[in-house]
Structure 1
Amino acid sequence: MAVRLLLKSGLAVTALTATSGAICYHTDVLDNPWCSTFRIVRFGRAACASFIVSLDYKWSLRDLEYDTEEYRTTIGQIHTRSALRLREMCSRNGGLFIKVGQHLGSLDYLLPKSYVKVFKVFHNEAPKTSLSRLQGVVEEEFGQPFDTIFSELDEEPLGAASLAQCHKGVLRGTGETVAVKIQHPDVRRNGYTDIDTIEFLVSCVHLVFPDFTFQWLVEEIRANLPMELDFCQEAHNQERFSAMFTHLNFVKAPRVHWEFTTPRVLTMEFIDGGKVDNVEYLKRNRLRGDDISLKLGRMYSEMIFLRGFIHCDPHSGNVLVRPGSDGQAQIVLLDHGLYKELTDEFRLTYCRLWQALINKDSRAVERYCLELNAGELYPLLACMITARTWDSVQGGITQKQRSREEMRAIQQHIPLYLSHITQLLNNIPRQLVLILKTNDLLRGLEYSLGSPLYRQSYIIMSKYCLRAIGEHEAGRAESSWIQRVQWRAKTKLSLLMVTLYENWLWIRAVFVNYT
């Protein structure tokens, strides 16, 4: 009760701050980086934008009957202008607000299409910091003049993100070309205040719109922020990832230069390549979209099902491709700041759930969804994991490809199930929340590559699930060598059956094309 009263009084404070914040929001004088370092300015912008968006929804829909044609048209227009207004605010505040925008741009299973489309821009574009300010960060970190470390640093960044930006440079001592990732100057100082601001505004908006329960997103960002602000941790993740994939020559991560790496500066090998969604680059280098999709699927299946250590930010700005030594696509994964370590219990439950989904085993789907705290909303969780309708899940997700009509149906039903979706996201394990985001980003990459390899993707996933479950069961049978041999034989037989099915599909496709 006390918390609710506090939040209600907070709405008045927010409205008051929003009035002054409107000045911050609409005045170009306060658009420079120096003004954005003031927390009251950042809070004012956020409060103003939140207040205007909330008012727009309440006022514009006040006399409209729900789910009529006029209602759907009007709310579609509100979604678009509200998303643009919030994106402008995030761009002006920068830092953690960009990070929140990137999260929103990956919530295809939750947000209206207008929001996802508008915020996806942050996956490839973010406000830039001037090179002179970044040089100051380097000098603070190393305690020596910038030009004693780097003889060159390009003015134009290779990429700008929410917490940092990356520049191509040259090491003075060796003359080696490197990529230098430098944290934006005020991110560390403003980060925790910004997350408090976002949490407060989310709570206020929830009072006005009870279905708006995004507390899970705030908690996720708060939990991950310390790791993402520590570039030494990112460097360790990068090296662990490289060690995991030494057996796959089509996977690579840049080598770290530890002597020039601190919590705010990460210096690494420079690798030339094109963004995974750069169609012209792929054509010019004769790289096939279907080959890239299958390799991404194999890489992430191994991370999720077998290793339990997942890179959780695979948007197009973080995935480069280039011709490998065999002329085929090599995948270069960047930005290793956000990883999720899965518990064995969760990983195996998730493996068994995917096996049930692929095998069209409805009872097993219900069982493993319940183990993930889905409760009576287990059909919704199955739909969110697969990005398919419940009819497709029941009919078998491997039976037919997801059509445009099915994608439209999913988007149309999101507003109807919004309260259930947010309830589910508050209940399921935090590990699964990040996996859902990762899955959606990967589907976005596959869509941009124009490679609807749905059966091949499921075959790859099925193989890794079988391996993970087989290795686990064989490991449990430590005291009985007979049981270990039985499990290994069973796993090999299952993998053989999947491979034979895969070959049969290939032969059938060749025959159909030939005839």
Structure 2
Amino acid sequence: MFRHWKKMLGLGMAGYAGYDYTTREKIMWRNLRTLKAGAVILINYKWRFSPENVEQIHEETAEELYNMCRENDGLYVKFGQAVAASEHMLPPSYFKWFSLLQDKAKAVEYEAVRKIIKEDLGSNPEDIFEEFEQEPVASASIAQVHRAKLKTGETVAVKIQKPNIQKQFGYDMFMHKLFLQVLEYAFDLPLTPFHESIEENLAKEIDFNIEAENSKKCKILFQKLGRKEIYVPNIYDQYTSKRTLVMEWIDGIKITEESQLVQQGYDIKGILNSIIEAFAEQIFITGFTHADPHPGNLLVRRNPQDTQKQQIVLLDYGLCFQVSENFRLQYCSLWKSLFLQDSQALKDIVKQWGIQDDEQFASFQLMRPYNKNKPLTDKISKEDVYNLQMKFKGDFKKMLGDTNKFPKDLLFINRNMNLVRSINKKLGSQVNRINLMAKYSVKGLHEDTNTLKKKFNLIWFETRLMFSSIFYKLVQAWFKFFKGKGFEDILDEEMKKAIQQKYAEYGMVPPDEKTFNA
């Protein structure tokens, strides 16, 4: 009897595996790949890892995780792209592999797109659009974009969610939580407290009705801030649903196409300044922030109202969030204390967030080494950068302390700041990012300057900002003249040199320059 049921169970599982393989979602196969990748991580880092094979372990594990994300597609590609955006915190092998995911999102066939439009909007594409390009102009992790023309003549971008995303979401989030639980148990790191916030925000991101509302809110707030150089495309509400979003078509140059921007006479420094200031205003003043400003979501064009002026077009509002007023003010105070090196104020703020190591946390926020005894204008040594990376890896758990108090919105603020930092670096580090953040943190406090003491403090702060800007310009000019690179590039290079030196000290073969550059 037992053999009979065992055989039936085996046949049933084999039958389901066959059925699952033929479906678009491939739930079981995706989960099996994830479990395999989790096992590889455990085996490699828990039992095989040693000073002699560290590079081999990094390479093998990064490749395994990359293959998992590439094959599973969907949200896995999004997770992988987030890893690629954190290159300054990860071994070079991970950046080498995960950066390949930037252009690896698979597109779905036109028939699937047509079916979604029919189901969500109640009409076939030919009934809504005069023209509809069947080949997508872009394909991302959860959606793809087609160019079309409405019956009324307007050219539009039609964003269509991939048909498997909704069905895969619950399973993907379950596997994400399981993945974190295993890593948490194996490596004694506080990872699962962040799962709930990630799942909540991703659930919003796959609802295009929410994205449409985020877009309109950003448009209103930028107008209130007087940011005429930041443009938010118009949304066509009548063609918006959970899986379909129709918006104004915008022609522009991707923010990182530096040679093309220079050739057409754009002011790179002015563009960077506008981007950093606009996002600083979102973080410190409105509290409503776009958390996904990667290069594909930032285009540059001439202002249609005044072609002498340039304009930055901000796309994709799926991942936006609103922080509480209390947290916004706390975060403003945090950055003010960082710049003024008010160590007691810094400790008081991070203590409320359950963070025990204030200097380590400050380094994480600034994305550069922080020392309370050194002003932010001091030159950063390679020892500082190496110690930052080593300390972060070794003391992550200690730094966080009580994860129940940790504000989860910091995950998305840091995502925004990390992407903005990488754009600044890509375009030559022409803008003092830290200075601008500090400037808007003080503006965000809306402090009363009626008292003589507060007026003096504000003047003193502005003076320090001015000297910091002068110092940054001198350092930037020095690096450009003698090394031909920007400030953020020098930071990364010093980190690489420090790591290579430490490998040599321990008798290990250091990664070569080709590996780092990859």
Q: Which residue identity is paired with 1:168?
A: R
Q: Which residue identity is paired with 2:222?
A: F
Name the CA distance, whole Å, in 1 between partners of 2:328 and 2:290.
15
Quote the residue 1:245 is aligned against: 222
Q: Compared with structure 1, are the counterparts of its residues 420 and 119 closer, same or farther at alpha carbon in structure 2 (3 Å cutoff)?
A: farther
Quote the residue 1:201 is aligned against: 179
Root-mean-square deviation (CA, aligned residues, Å) is 3.4
Quote the residue 2:165 is aligned against: 187
**Deviation string, structure 1 residues 280-324 (Cα, Å, up to 9, x no partner):** 322222223322221111101100111110101111121112233
Quote the residue 2:334 is aligned against: 353
Quote how far apart the aligned CAs of 1:217 are. Answer: 4.2
Q: Compared with structure 1, are the counterparts of its residues 412 and 364 closer, same or farther at alpha carbon in structure 2 (3 Å cutoff)?
A: same
Q: Which residue identity is paired with 2:312?
A: I
Quote the residue 1:234 is aligned against: 211
Q: Compared with structure 1, are the counterparts of its residues 109 and 507 closer, same or farther at alpha carbon in structure 2 (3 Å cutoff)?
A: closer
**Deviation string, structure 1 residues 403-455 (Cα, Å, up to 9, x no partner):** 7775555445544335446767675211112212221111111111112433x
Name the CA distance, whole Å, in 2 between partners of 1:502 and 1:182.
46
Q: Compared with structure 1, are the counterparts of its residues 212 and 499 closer, same or farther at alpha carbon in structure 2 (3 Å cutoff)?
A: closer
Q: Compared with structure 1, are the counterparts of its residues 274 and 403 closer, same or farther at alpha carbon in structure 2 (3 Å cutoff)?
A: farther
The alignment partner of 1:321 has SS state of strand
Indicate if the aligned counterparts of 1:467 and 1:491 stay in contact, CA closer than 8 A.
Answer: no
Quote the residue 2:408 is aligned against: 430
Indicate if the aligned counterparts of 2:377 and 2:468 stay in contact, CA closer than 8 A.
Answer: no
Quote the residue 2:235 is aligned against: 256
Name the CA distance, whole Å, in 2 between partners of 1:438 and 1:152.
36
Quote the residue 2:438 is aligned against: 462
Quote the residue 2:368 is aligned against: 388
Quote how far apart the aligned CAs of 1:109 are. Answer: 6.4
Q: Compared with structure 1, are the counterparts of its residues 138 and 422 closer, same or farther at alpha carbon in structure 2 (3 Å cutoff)?
A: farther
The alignment partner of 2:119 has SS state of helix
Quote the residue 2:32 is aligned against: 44
Name the CA distance, whole Å, in 2 between partners of 1:109 and 1:260.
41
* TM-score, scaled to structure 1: 0.80
Q: Which residue identity is paired with 2:441?
A: C
Name the CA distance, whole Å, in 2 between partners of 1:316 and 1:108.
15
Quote how far apart the aligned CAs of 1:78 are. Answer: 1.7
Q: Compared with structure 1, are the counterparts of its residues 286 and 404 closer, same or farther at alpha carbon in structure 2 (3 Å cutoff)?
A: farther
Name the CA distance, whole Å, in 1 between partners of 2:106 and 2:319.
20
Name the CA distance, whole Å, in 1 between partners of 2:344 and 2:279.
27
Q: Which residue identity is paired with 2:359?
A: P
* TM-score, scaled to structure 2: 0.79
The alignment partner of 1:394 has SS state of coil
Quote how far apart the aligned CAs of 1:267 are. Answer: 0.4
Q: Which residue identity is paired with 1:230?
A: D
* Aligned pairs for 1:46-195 within 5 A: 46-58=34-46, 60-61=48-49, 64=50, 68=51, 70=52, 74-108=53-87, 110-171=89-150, 173-195=151-173
Name the CA distance, whole Å, in 1 between partners of 2:245 and 2:55.
42
Larger mean Cα displacement after TM superposition, 321-330 or 44-53: 321-330
Q: Which residue identity is paired with 2:27?
A: R
Q: Compared with structure 1, are the counterparts of its residues 211 and 282 closer, same or farther at alpha carbon in structure 2 (3 Å cutoff)?
A: farther
**Deviation string, structure 1 residues 18-67 (Cα, Å, up to 9, x no partner):** xx99xx9xxxx9998x5451321221121122223433334533xx4xxx
Quote how far apart the aligned CAs of 1:337 are. Answer: 0.8
Indicate if the aligned counterparts of 2:20 and 2:26 stay in contact, CA closer than 8 A.
Answer: no
Indicate if the aligned counterparts of 1:230 and 1:264 stay in contact, CA closer than 8 A.
Answer: yes
Name the CA distance, whole Å, in 1 between partners of 2:300 and 2:118.
33
Partner residue of 1:319 out of 298, 308, 314: 298
Q: Compared with structure 1, are the counterparts of its residues 409 and 286 closer, same or farther at alpha carbon in structure 2 (3 Å cutoff)?
A: farther
Name the CA distance, whole Å, in 2 between partners of 1:84 and 1:287.
39
The alignment partner of 2:182 has SS state of helix
Q: Compared with structure 1, are the counterparts of its residues 413 and 30 closer, same or farther at alpha carbon in structure 2 (3 Å cutoff)?
A: farther
Indicate if the aligned counterparts of 1:30 and 1:36 stay in contact, CA closer than 8 A.
Answer: no
Larger mean Cα displacement after TM superposition, 334-343 or 363-372: 363-372
The alignment partner of 2:376 has SS state of coil
Q: Compared with structure 1, are the counterparts of its residues 293 and 166 closer, same or farther at alpha carbon in structure 2 (3 Å cutoff)?
A: same
Q: Compared with structure 1, are the counterparts of its residues 492 and 379 closer, same or farther at alpha carbon in structure 2 (3 Å cutoff)?
A: closer
The alignment partner of 1:245 has SS state of helix
Q: Which residue identity is paired with 1:386?
A: L
**Deviation string, structure 1 residues 222-272 (Cα, Å, up to 9, x no partner):** 111221111111111111111111212210111111111111111000111
**Deviation string, structure 1 residues 133-178 (Cα, Å, up to 9, x no partner):** 112111111122121112323344232222111121111x112111
Quote the residue 1:14 is aligned against: none
Q: Compared with structure 1, are the counterparts of its residues 191 and 243 closer, same or farther at alpha carbon in structure 2 (3 Å cutoff)?
A: same
The alignment partner of 2:373 has SS state of helix
Quote the residue 1:6 is aligned against: none
Quote the residue 2:348 is aligned against: 367
Indicate if the aligned counterparts of 2:354 and 2:403 stay in contact, CA closer than 8 A.
Answer: no
Q: Which residue identity is paired with 2:317?
A: H
* Unmatched tracts of structure 1, length 5 or more: 1-16, 475-482
Q: Compared with structure 1, are the counterparts of its residues 429 and 109 closer, same or farther at alpha carbon in structure 2 (3 Å cutoff)?
A: farther
The alignment partner of 1:445 has SS state of helix
Name the CA distance, whole Å, in 1 between partners of 2:145 and 2:420.
23
The share of aligned pairs that are identical, in percent, is 28
Indicate if the aligned counterparts of 1:366 and 1:378 stay in contact, CA closer than 8 A.
Answer: yes
Quote how far apart the aligned CAs of 1:396 are. Answer: 1.5
> For this pair of structures, how many residues does the alignment match?
462
Quote the residue 1:13 is aligned against: none
Q: Which residue identity is paired with 2:280?
A: S
Quote the residue 1:344 is aligned against: 325
Name the CA distance, whole Å, in 2 between partners of 1:505 and 1:109.
24
